[in-house]
Amino acid sequence: MTFLRTLGLAAAVTATFAAGATAQAKDIVIGMMCDRTGPTAVTGTVLCPGYHDYIALVNSKGGIMGNTVIADEVDIEYKVPPAVEAYQRYKAKGAVLVSPFGTPMVAALVKTMQEDKIPATSAGFGTAAAANGEKYPYMFPIAASYWSQTAAAVQFAKDTFDGDLKGKRIAYVFYDNPAGREGIPVMEELAKQEGYELRTFGIPAPGIEAGAQVLDITRRFRADFVIAHVFGRAPAVLLKELKRAGYPIDKVIGLVWAVSEGDIAAAGGWDVAEGYNTIQFAGVGSDYPVLQEIRDMYKAQGKEPPSEMAYTVYYNRGVFQAAMHVKAIEDAIKAKGSADITGTDVRDAMRNINDFTLDGLVPPLQMSAKDHEGGGYIRVFQVQGGKFVPVTDWYRAYRDTVLRLLEEEHKG
């Protein structure tokens, strides 16, 4: 089977035919785009092994109801043309689910996927608008959108100040690209509701220097709280500068791409990040039964667990995505009664995932035909003594405001 998995397109097509003939046990292909090189390599090199390990775990337990899952990975280097090529490869292989990586790639493929009726997930990126299942019936953000995350971050700040943000100064630090600016409307809207004073600080590409912004935050604006929505190298730089300036790190919260073990290492180690609050859409840390199963699987094969498992933020997100995919496919097979599922079957199953938590690794998502975001749940983990410790339960905040803004966005 490994040989088949690694063969090129032609062999896979043949394999599909062969499997069609036997009809019973079938190879189920998931298209897995990944960034192992390029600007987002830091994420991809950890997230993708997590994804593959979960799929390997499922297969080692006999696959999904006897059907082997093939996660076909293509490294797209955060470029659009390779993503198009990869997508066509998946389509030719008969993939029932695709996982593109990166906002521009999702944007470039969303139309084609809708035409081909192949569902896709985009956990943690893509516009907030994609959560609308009526407008994008085959696009599943599955994780909290940037808008939901921003709202949750404001809620967290509010709780920090005992439920009152009136007159407080909040700095919203964003990476200056479309994805980074996305949270601003929510911040402005909530500033009206909660009465805090908002100032935005852009960190433009390449985001390797933030000395002046931090001076401004700490010495001119004197922010009471910092919400950071930054990517790439900017999280490490920002964290280190804030720490150096003596800013209390426990008054900083980062959205989903603003922290990982790698960023903390780049910033100079766990001491620098002590107290940092981070929003997560998948559980962080090593204490999940599913991770133990993966370690056991490696042990059974006589191998050491991969070094990527130490980077739990992205690794667990890989596991989370894989688990969601497997769950949707499993439900689709159950609903259909055979492994002959189509993209639309998987889509329908995905829309019905409810309270699938994987012992805390996955938020209590409530997917529906309208809400492909699953409710927008996040959980805040704080850096304490060299690891991430959950300081809240899964929660969401200002749901009405976020939904109202979504409505307006669709009208406008």
Nearer to other proteins by Cβ, of 77 and 373: the residue is: 77
Nearer to other proteins by Cβ, of 155 and 213: the residue is: 213
Rounded to the nearest whole angstrom, what is the least distance from the CB of residue 218 to other proteins in the complex?
9
Q: Among candidates 157, 189, 119, which has minimal Cα distance to 348? A: 119
Helix 103-116, helix 80-93: angle, nearest 10: 30
Q: Is the dihedral of CA 337, 339, 345, 351 positive or negative?
A: positive
Rounded to the nearest whole angstrom, what is the least distance from the CB of residue 270 to other proteins in the complex?
12
**DSSP state string for 182-207:** TTHHHHHHHHHHH--EEEEEEE-TT-
Residues 6+ apart with CB under 8 A from 301: none
Rounded to the nearest whole angstrom, what is the least distance from the CB of residue 366 to other proteins in the complex?
26
Rounded to the nearest whole angstrom, what is the least distance from the CB of residue 32 to other proteins in the complex?
10
Rounded to the nearest whole angstrom, what is the least distance from the CB of residue 302 to other proteins in the complex?
13
Q: Among candidates 270, 271, 269, 171, which has minimal Cα distance to 229? A: 171
Nearer to other proteins by Cβ, of 160 and 177: the residue is: 177
**Strands 28-34 and 97-99, bridge-based pairing:** parallel
Rounded to the nearest whole angstrom, what is the least distance from the CB of residue 6 to other proteins in the complex?
5
Distance CA 299, CA 48 (A): 20
Nearer to other proteins by Cβ, of 123 and 333: the residue is: 123
Nearer to other proteins by Cβ, of 82 and 364: the residue is: 82
Nearer to other proteins by Cβ, of 163 and 246: the residue is: 246
Omega within 30 of 0 (cis) for the link into 206: yes
Residues 6+ apart with CB under 8 A from 21: none
Helix ranges, 245-311 (H): 261-267, 270-273, 289-300
Please give the structure tokens belonging to residue 227. Answer: 């919400």
Nearer to other proteins by Cβ, of 24 and 307: the residue is: 307
Rounded to the nearest whole angstrom, what is the least distance from the CB of residue 78 to other proteins in the complex?
8
Asked if 203 contacts 174 with a C-beta cutoff of 8 angstroms, the reply is yes
Q: Residue 121: exposed, middle, or buried by beta-carbon count in 10 A (0-12, 13-18, 19+)?
A: buried
Q: Among candidates 386, 389, 144, which has minimal Cα distance to 261? A: 386
Nearer to other proteins by Cβ, of 176 and 293: the residue is: 176
Asked if 388 contacts 312 with a C-beta cutoff of 8 angstroms, the reply is yes
Rounded to the nearest whole angstrom, what is the least distance from the CB of residue 396 to other proteins in the complex?
21
Nearer to other proteins by Cβ, of 45 and 339: the residue is: 45
Both ends of the chain: CA-CA distance in Å?
Answer: 51
Rounded to the nearest whole angstrom, what is the least distance from the CB of residue 77 to other proteins in the complex?
7
Nearer to other proteins by Cβ, of 65 and 184: the residue is: 184
Give me the sheet containing 169-175, strands edge to edge: 197-203, 169-175, 225-229, 252-254, 277-280, 379-384, 387-390
Rounded to the nearest whole angstrom, what is the least distance from the CB of residue 79 to other proteins in the complex?
7
Nearer to other proteins by Cβ, of 263 and 330: the residue is: 263
Residues 6+ apart with CB under 8 A from 41: 35
Residue with tokens 């082997």: 68
Rounded to the nearest whole angstrom, what is the least distance from the CB of residue 352 to other proteins in the complex?
28
